[in-house]
């Protein structure tokens, strides 16, 4: 038979368990459990915010619209930089095996600070001008991103397999590392493939 002291102990234990169960949803918002995966997302969507309407066959002087987004699931607030680059078929892509970014220089940047669980998305417009074709080579002279005009003078050779001149807009995600006190490549990137064949002029 249980003594009065035993009932008191059981009552205290039951009260503690009840309190923890009641508070667990609130604790989940505050505590980042070791088993949870920390990661970030970056995405590029077409003009209607879908993955089916990316610009592809681009022409001189026309303005194209896409959406770029980032989501933070790192467990704490994070400071991001999105770097836009422009590459031809021989320029380097980021190397996921060693976590290295493309060696290309960035042409345009976004600075984003997000709390854990937050996401950010913005519209980006781009257009091309001063595109020329000489023999089997296309040269893109000018790229305009939003309201910034950039001189790129980027050549591309004729692609025999796909019969055209192809480029990519590359978007890399960088993150601030508090331990090193430096911004580093976050090993995440997106690209949009662009066919310049219709834009080239003799």
In this predicted model, what pLDDT tens digit does every residue of 91-105 receive, in sequence order? 999 998 899 999 999
pLDDT for position 72: 97
pLDDT for position 17: 57
pLDDT for position 27: 39
Token digits of residue 8? 């008191």
**Under 8 Å CB-to-CB from 83, ≥6 apart: which residues?**
101, 106, 108, 109, 171, 172, 174
Range 148-158 average pLDDT:
96
The domain 39-195: what is its CATH number?
2.60.40.10
Residue predicted with more confidence, 4 or 30: 4
16 has pLDDT over 60: no
* CA separation, residue 108 to residues 7, 76, 83, 131, 170 (Å): 69, 26, 6, 20, 11
- Residue 1, classed as helix, strand or coil, is coil
- Name the band, by pLDDT with cuts 50, 70 and 90, for residue 25: very low
Range 66-89 average pLDDT:
97
pLDDT for position 199: 77
State how far the Cα of 85 lies from the Cα of 174, in Å rounded to an integer: 13
Q: What number of other Cβ atoms are within 10 A of residue 113's Cβ? A: 12
**How far from the centroid of its chain's Cα atoms is residue 189's Cα?**
5
Domain map of the chain by residue range?
A: 1-31, 39-195
Residue predicted with more confidence, 35 or 57: 57
Token digits of residue 25? 């949803």
């Amino acid at each position: 038979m249980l003594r009065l002291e035993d009932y008191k102990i059981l009552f205290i234990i039951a009260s503690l368990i009840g309190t923890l169960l009641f508070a667990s949803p609130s604790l989940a918002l505050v505590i980042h459990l070791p088993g949870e995966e920390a990661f970030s997302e970056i995405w590029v969507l077409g003009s209607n915010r879908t993955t089916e309407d990316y610009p592809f066959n681009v022409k001189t002087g026309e303005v194209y619209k896409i959406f770029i987004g980032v989501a933070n699931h790192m467990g704490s607030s994070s400071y991001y930089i999105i770097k836009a680059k422009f590459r031809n078929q021989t320029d380097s892509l980021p190397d996921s095996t060693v976590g290295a970014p493309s060696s290309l220089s960035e042409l345009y940047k976004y600075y984003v600070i997000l709390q854990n669980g937050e996401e950010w998305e913005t519209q980006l417009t781009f257009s091309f001008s001063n595109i020329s074709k000489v023999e089997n080579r296309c040269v893109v002279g000018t790229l305009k991103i939003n309201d910034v005009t950039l001189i790129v003078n980027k050549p591309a050779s004729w692609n025999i397999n796909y019969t055209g001149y192809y480029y990519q807009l590359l978007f890399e995600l960088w993150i601030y590392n508090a331990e090193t006190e430096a911004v580093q490549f976050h090993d995440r990137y997106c690209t949009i493939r662009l066919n310049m064949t219709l834009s080239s002029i003799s």
